[in-house]
Amino acid sequence: MERTKTLKELLSAFEPYFDGGVWKTDNILAFQAVGRYLAEDVPGTDLKKGHRITAEDVGTLAANGTLMVTVWFKPYVTILSTGEELVTPFETPGEGQTRDSNSMMLRALAEDTGAVVVGADMIKEGKDAVNLAVRNFVDQCDVLIVTTSTLPGAEDDMLKLVDSIRKPGVIAYGSVSDDSGNIILAALKDDYCRCVGRMPALIVCLPGKKETVKQNYDDVVDYFIRKYYFHNL
**Burial group, residue 31, by CB count within 10 angstroms (0-12, 13-18, 19+):** middle
Predicted TM-score (pTM) of this structure: 0.92
Domain range for 41: 25-72
Does residue 2 fall inside a structural domain?
A: no
Are residues 203 and 96 part of one domain? Answer: yes
Q: Tell me, what's the pLDDT at 176?
A: 77
**Burial group, residue 8, by CB count within 10 angstroms (0-12, 13-18, 19+):** exposed
Task: Summarize the confidence of residues 95-104 as an average pLDDT.
Answer: 89
Does residue 171 fall inside a structural domain?
A: yes
Are residues 200 and 86 part of one domain? Answer: yes
Does residue 176 fall inside a structural domain?
A: yes
What is the domain-level CATH number for residue 162? 3.40.980.10
Are residues 106 and 166 part of one domain? Answer: yes
5-61 confidence digits (pLDDT tens): 899 999 999 999 999 888 999 999 999 999 999 999 999 999 999 999 999 999 999
Are residues 146 and 38 part of one domain? Answer: no
- Phi, psi at 120, each rounded to 5°: -150, 135
Report how many domains make up the chain: 2
- Range with top average pLDDT, 43-57, 166-180, 199-213: 43-57
Q: Tell me, what's the pLDDT at 96?
A: 84
Q: Tell me, what's the pLDDT at 178?
A: 65
Mean pLDDT, the chain, whole residue set:
90
Q: Tell me, what's the pLDDT at 84?
A: 85
Are residues 115 and 83 part of one domain? Answer: yes
pLDDT class of 198 with cuts at 50, 70, 90? low
pLDDT class of 195 with cuts at 50, 70, 90? very low
H or E stretch including 101?
none
Are residues 188 and 148 part of one domain? Answer: yes
Task: Summarize the confidence of residues 172-180 as an average pLDDT.
Answer: 79
Percent of the chain's residues with pLDDT above 70: 94
Are residues 141 and 59 part of one domain? Answer: no
Are residues 78 and 62 part of one domain? Answer: no
- List alpha helices for the chain, DSSP H: 7-12, 15-18, 55-63, 102-113, 127-137, 154-165, 210-216, 223-224
Task: Summarize the confidence of residues 72-83 as an average pLDDT.
Answer: 94
Does residue 1 fall inside a structural domain?
A: no
What is the domain-level CATH number for residue 39? 3.90.105.10
Q: Answer whether 105's CB lies under 8 Å from 65's CB.
A: no
Residue 187 has pLDDT above 60, yes or no: yes
Are residues 98 and 65 part of one domain? Answer: no
Are residues 137 and 32 part of one domain? Answer: no
Does residue 12 fall inside a structural domain?
A: yes
118-151 confidence digits (pLDDT tens): 999 898 877 888 888 888 888 889 999 999 988 8
Are residues 212 and 113 part of one domain? Answer: yes
Q: Tell me, what's the pLDDT at 85?
A: 87
How far apart, in whole angstroms, are the C-alpha atoms of residue 176 and residue 212? 10
Are residues 87 and 42 part of one domain? Answer: no
Does residue 15 fall inside a structural domain?
A: yes
What is the C-alpha R_g of the chain? Answer: 19
